[in-house]
Structure 1
Amino acid sequence: MLQRAHDGRVIHVLVATPAGTTGQGGIDRVMASLKRELEQHTRSDVRVRFLASRGSGHVAFSALHALNFCVRMLAARFRGKVDVVHINLASHGSTYRKLVISRWAEMLGIPYVLHLHGGGYASFWSGASASLSRRIGTMFRQASGVVVLGKIWRDFVLSKVREAEERVTVVPNATEIPTLPHIGGGDTVHILFLGRIEKDKGTPELCEALGLMADMPGWRATIAGSGDVEMLRHRLGQLGLSARVAVPGWQGPDDVARLLAEADILTLPSFVENQPISIIEGMAAGLAVVATPVGAVEDIVSDDETGFLVPPGDVAALKDALARLVAEPDLRRRMGEAGREQHRARLDMAPFADALCAIWRAAATSRMEKR
């Protein structure tokens, strides 16, 4: 439990998250879990409100939500009910909106913390025009704190904004402890993929790897997510896997919880990631993990301990890792248990919330001392 700020004040935090805490994306899911954690285990020195900065509708209306956030920020400033703004940041449209929100916070004299998400942010910033790159750099320089999900992202930010070194903090993503007991797939080992069905997530390679396992008994798979669902089903049919691989499309939170409880292996053979929530959810449920060492995945998955890390695009290595876990139940259980222990120690919501509260308090206190 955090203590009150040194002067006894309660710190009020306004969080900008894409669609509020009801959205389907990874950022909104993390923020929804954070909200529940803060409601269930009240911190005495912080009060937090979560507001949409993009909305859940068509992107054409996203500017209205960003404007509404700015209006709400102004109103809270007049009421003395905002000391820090927490800005969840991704590439493209998210950055354009957050440039406005961060600038508005600066004009109002409110310190803000940037929370960097999105596996493609390095290529986005590096490929930005000179003008946009300068504006992004200014946004990071003026931030009172910068939260990144892993060491690779800390190094990237510092390569762009060296003077931010003292304000960049690594805070891994987190998920809640599952409420459903883990039962696994029983006599048939259940391989689970959770994520968007697209090339960047490695779903074509996953299909090919499963195709190489067609003659191996004792497994089934579920590839769940939105995206190129029909194309995936067609390819699985060509490989003769339609009866063994379910493709249910997008799944809501209750369905995801059920799938995790009924799975034995979580796989995500992505080419681009920041730090995927689905891997952390798999570890929380006690699943062995097969993933690729992209983004900050290596910060949470230890090769040959909590799972296997295979090179992106390497179908043979992906097949070998999955097949070994199917064939070796003791190895599968050992890795799953090691992942569950790591989740409870580092990737649970309680330490995540404590870390963010400390960052918010430091940002608010620093601004108070400068006045």
Structure 2
Amino acid sequence: MGTGRLMRVLHVTHQYAPAIGGAERYITGLSEELARRGHQVEVYTSRATDYHTWANVLPPEETRNGVRVRRFAAWPRRGHTWAALKLGLRHYWPGRAAALAALIYYGNGPICPGLFGAVLRAAPRFDLVHINQLHYSHAATAYAAARRAGLPIVTTPHLHAEQPATYDVDYMLAILRGSQVLFADTVGERDFLVSRGFPPVAVTTAGHGLNLDAFPPQDRAASRARFGLPADAFVVLFLGRKIDYKGLEPSLRAFLHLRQSCPHAYFLAVGPETTDSQRLWLTYGQQPGVVVRGAVSEEERLAALAACDVLALPSTGEAFGIVYLEAWAYAKPVIGAPITAVAALIADGEDGFLVAPTQVQRLADRLAWLVAHPDRARQMGAAGQAKLQRRYTTRQIADIVEGGYTRALRRRRTRL
């Protein structure tokens, strides 16, 4: 589609590929698609791949698929940094003291000392700045520099409506108020922003998208063999960082209930381990039918999606949930939690189920229903795949974002 006008765009984000994560995948896919369309896109980001440490492991500069990426060294996130964040979050509300907001800014990171000056110096080369991911500290740094330079600002906050720490700090609210356009991930996020007083004309529902070419057909039997899964098994997949809020433990407990009546069921848990998951494996020990893999290659990730019968990720900390789209790319039904973002994406009973992580028995019942109704399960997966193709491809998201950029530039000119 396109706007017809080529633009010079600076994307500022906390992390960028090869770093993994939903927000990282969003900005990487968007940057590459806009560059493919002929826009001049540069990315300013940290050198990190892990927000737990902000360790500087990536090169300062590189070009990835037509996108120039400039990375800045960040201060490391250590024990005292986490302590500052916890102190700030514990006492910030309701007094909203500026000193506590400063602790939140410091504790969140990434603190990149060179970022502010670099944005300021580069400003004449760009038409606008697009800030990706609100609650990390790069957002406030980029916003301050862009404001001083007089550049239009658009923001994709990826906020979690249920988690005030992702948006309800004064400097974060200032970014939202000062942006010409806000890109909401879901209708639920848009409605939430409007309910908080942001003008509807400034909030556009965009969402995440997939480059479908990156999800080629996979041989199901070969994918299962890769993980040692029987060809005739019913496979429940957990795919993501194994941290408490992602819902690994309730998914495992629901699977163990299912396994009692369905001995051919298997649970495949794929994703980076954390202290949460390490404690979980120690608690439950080695269980029949449970297959665990840590961080895996993209090829193995796709094989896991192709191998499963259902993706179970009842996470309470999603701004969107791009992994649900990835499961739909292989026509798999999904199970998510009924939080604002996920409830706006998954149609309960149509392309997946919504189950709170506290409802372990209900989650087990939904898994058992999918086992008992394989034809209906396939129909649900196909419905999700159709939704993905209809609304959530990278090209469709880029169309929406291009339109938002054009409106931001028009509003800026009108104000001037």
Name the TM-score class by shorter chain: 0.7 to 0.9
Structure 1 pair 335/187, CA: closer, same or farther in 2 (3 Å)?
same
Q: How far does residue 295 in structure 1 lie from its aligned partner after superposition?
A: 2.8
Match of 1:26 in 2: 22
CA distance in 2, matches of 1:170, 1:342: 16
Aligned partner letter, 1:15? H
Q: How far does residue 110 in structure 1 lie from its aligned partner after superposition?
A: 0.3
Match of 2:157 in 1: 116
Aligned partner letter, 1:172? G
CA distance in 1, matches of 2:190, 2:400: 16
Out of 11, 35, 48, the residue aligned to residue 15 of structure 1 is: 11
Q: How far does residue 61 in structure 1 lie from its aligned partner after superposition?
A: 4.4
Determine whether 1:362 maps to 2:407. yes
CA distance in 2, matches of 1:98, 1:303: 34
User: So what's the TM-score if we normalise by structure 1?
Assistant: 0.86
Match of 2:179 in 1: 143
Q: How far does residue 118 in structure 1 lie from its aligned partner after superposition?
A: 4.4
Q: Is the contact made by 1:22 and 1:32 (CA closer than 8 Å) also made in structure 2?
A: no
CA distance in 2, matches of 1:171, 1:370: 25
Q: Is the contact made by 1:201 and 1:269 (CA closer than 8 Å) also made in structure 2?
A: yes
Q: Deviations over 1:163-206 (max 9, x none)?
A: 43210111122222243314445411221111222221121111
Determine whether 1:107 maps to 2:155. no
Match of 2:45 in 1: 52
**TM-align CA RMSD:** 2.3
Match of 1:180 in 2: 216
Q: Is the contact made by 2:251 and 2:360 (CA closer than 8 Å) also made in structure 1?
A: yes
**Counterpart of 1:181 in 2: which secondary structure?**
coil
Match of 1:340 in 2: 385
Q: Is the contact made by 1:150 and 1:172 (CA closer than 8 Å) also made in structure 2?
A: yes
Q: Is the contact made by 2:328 and 2:384 (CA closer than 8 Å) also made in structure 1?
A: yes
**Counterpart of 2:42 in 1: which secondary structure?**
strand
Match of 1:170 in 2: 205
Q: How far does residue 106 in structure 1 lie from its aligned partner after superposition?
A: 0.8
Match of 1:68 in 2: 114
The answer for unaligned runs of 5 or more in structure 1 is: none
Structure 1 pair 328/121, CA: closer, same or farther in 2 (3 Å)?
closer
**Percent same amino acid among aligned pairs?**
27
**Counterpart of 2:40 in 1: which secondary structure?**
strand
**Counterpart of 1:233 in 2: which secondary structure?**
helix
CA distance in 2, matches of 1:369, 1:166: 15
Match of 2:337 in 1: 292
**Counterpart of 2:19 in 1: which secondary structure?**
coil
CA distance in 1, matches of 2:128, 2:355: 41
Q: How far does residue 247 in structure 1 lie from its aligned partner after superposition?
A: 1.3
Match of 1:36 in 2: 32
Q: How far does residue 157 in structure 1 lie from its aligned partner after superposition?
A: 2.2
CA distance in 2, matches of 1:191, 1:244: 10
Q: Deviations over 1:272-292 (max 9, x none)?
A: 322111111111221111221
CA distance in 2, matches of 1:32, 1:260: 21
CA distance in 2, matches of 1:14, 1:197: 32
CA distance in 2, matches of 1:111, 1:340: 36
CA distance in 2, matches of 1:120, 1:66: 27
Determine whether 1:153 maps to 2:199. no
CA distance in 2, matches of 1:117, 1:347: 16
Determine whether 1:230 maps to 2:278. yes
**Counterpart of 1:214 in 2: which secondary structure?**
helix
Aligned partner letter, 1:181? P
Q: Is the contact made by 1:274 and 1:294 (CA closer than 8 Å) also made in structure 2?
A: no
Q: How far does residue 120 in structure 1 lie from its aligned partner after superposition?
A: 6.4
Q: How far does residue 214 in structure 1 lie from its aligned partner after superposition?
A: 2.1
Aligned partner letter, 2:207? P
CA distance in 1, matches of 2:211, 2:322: 11
Match of 1:262 in 2: 307
User: So what's the TM-score if we normalise by structure 2?
Assistant: 0.77
Match of 1:313 in 2: 358
Q: Deviations over 1:228-287 (max 9, x none)?
A: 3332333443xx62x411111122322211211222211111233221111111112211
Q: How far does residue 65 in structure 1 lie from its aligned partner after superposition?
A: 6.4
Match of 2:87 in 1: none
Q: Deviations over 1:288-337 (max 9, x none)?
A: 11221113112221111101112331000100111111232101111111
**Counterpart of 1:301 in 2: which secondary structure?**
coil
CA distance in 2, matches of 1:296, 1:43: 29
